[in-house]
């Protein structure tokens, strides 16, 4: 079996490293574009593939992402509807994301941004303490990562709510919501909103003026989903009129963020360079091997996404 590495923005061979290449049991790894025979390519590893990436591989059966997100692969015009798309599930990634989100939730609760500003002004002024139980957190997206984030925040004492498209069982200390009515109900009780949604046609632009207006006034946004979830002008307006007190943004519609973008210098926005967490090469390798084994055995690979739902 052959596997092709496909990306227009990343040297996948260099990113994955020689250990990954050597660990590909009985699989020849080639890079795209490849001049040799393409009919024996049954597996691909991809990240932001070019539009024509999969045209040359008529017997392709599965494409593995190198991350939990697969929207960049699903958007490729040459991806056939019968090809399975595989996402990576990495418990270590969920742990990293949970720590990142908790840092920002606690920062909002304890007013750390205000204290940093006061330090620059050499101003000694206590702001008063808020208990975690007085800061309700709503989470958009309740998959593997969302469940870990919700459970960890609940252990820290925050009232945690989580929303998903359809009903899902919630861990102890977390209230689950689903559907359009559930989204409205959760937002109406939310001070800190954490976005962990996959990007689909239904979720694009979900972080907008109407969403912010439903939250508690003086709320906070933690955006770690996809850049296209956020309507940037609506966020700036919500910060300007005080509906939101601040925002932590790790993902953007255009990356890297343009030098003149207003987010860079906004006093109530924290910008990080899409670095909240990452999938380990070990987890990518395990997903890759499991996918190859499934193809050899004539089974559908584990962690195949639902193409209609987009995740």
Active site (catalytic) residues: 226, 274
Contact predicate 228/252, CB 8 Å:
no
Question: For residues 304 and 295, what is the distance between their CA atoms, to the nearest angstrom?
Answer: 12
The tokens describing 101, both together, are 């989100």
Q: 307: Cβ–Cβ under 8 A, 6 or more apart, which residues?
A: 74, 81, 85
Strand extents, DSSP E, the chain: 2-7, 28-31, 41-47, 62-65, 84-86, 137-140, 160-164, 174-178, 192-195, 219-223, 244-249, 269-271
With a CB cutoff of 8 Å and minimum separation 6, the contacts of 59 are: 39, 40, 41, 42
Distances (CA, A) of 232 to 43, 81, 134, 138: 37, 32, 28, 20
| Ordered DSSP codes for 138-202 | EEE--SHHHHHHHHHHHHTT--EEEEESS-----TTEEEEEHHHHHHHHHTT-SEEEE-PPP-TT
């Amino acid at each position: 079996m052959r596997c092709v590495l496909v990306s227009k923005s990343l040297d996948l061979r260099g990113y994955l490293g020689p250990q990954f290449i050597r660990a590909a049991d009985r699989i020849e790894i080639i890079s795209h574009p490849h001049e040799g025979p393409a009919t024996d390519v049954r597996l691909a590893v991809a990240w932001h593939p070019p539009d024509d990436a999969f045209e040359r591989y008529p017997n392709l059966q599965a494409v593995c992402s190198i991350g939990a997100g697969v929207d960049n692969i699903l958007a490729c015009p040459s991806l056939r509807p019968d090809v399975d798309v595989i996402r990576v599930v990495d418990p270590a990634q969920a742990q990293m994301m949970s720590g990142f989100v908790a840092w920002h939730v606690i920062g909002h609760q304890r007013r750390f941004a205000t204290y940093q500003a006061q330090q620059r002004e050499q101003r000694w002024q206590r702001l008063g303490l808020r208990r975690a139980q007085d800061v309700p957190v709503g989470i958009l997206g309740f998959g593997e990562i969302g469940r870990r984030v919700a459970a960890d925040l609940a252990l820290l004492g925050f009232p945690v709510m989580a929303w998903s498209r359809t009903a899902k069982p919630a861990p102890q200390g977390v209230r689950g919501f689903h559907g359009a009515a559930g989204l409205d109900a959760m937002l109406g009780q939310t001070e800190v909103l954490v976005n962990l949604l996959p990007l689909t046609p239904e979720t694009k632009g979900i972080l907008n003026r109407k969403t912010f207006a439903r939250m508690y006034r003086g709320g906070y946004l933690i955006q770690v989903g996809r850049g296209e979830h956020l309507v940037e002008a609506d966020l700036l307006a919500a910060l300007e009129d005080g509906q939101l007190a601040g925002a932590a943004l790790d993902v953007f519609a255009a990356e890297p963020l343009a030098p003149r973008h207003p987010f860079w210098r906004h006093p109530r926005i924290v910008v990080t360079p899409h670095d909240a967490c990452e999938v380990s090469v070990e987890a990518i390798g395990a997903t890759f091997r499991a996918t190859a084994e499934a193809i050899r055995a004539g089974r559908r690979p584990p962690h195949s996404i639902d193409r209609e739902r987009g995740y």
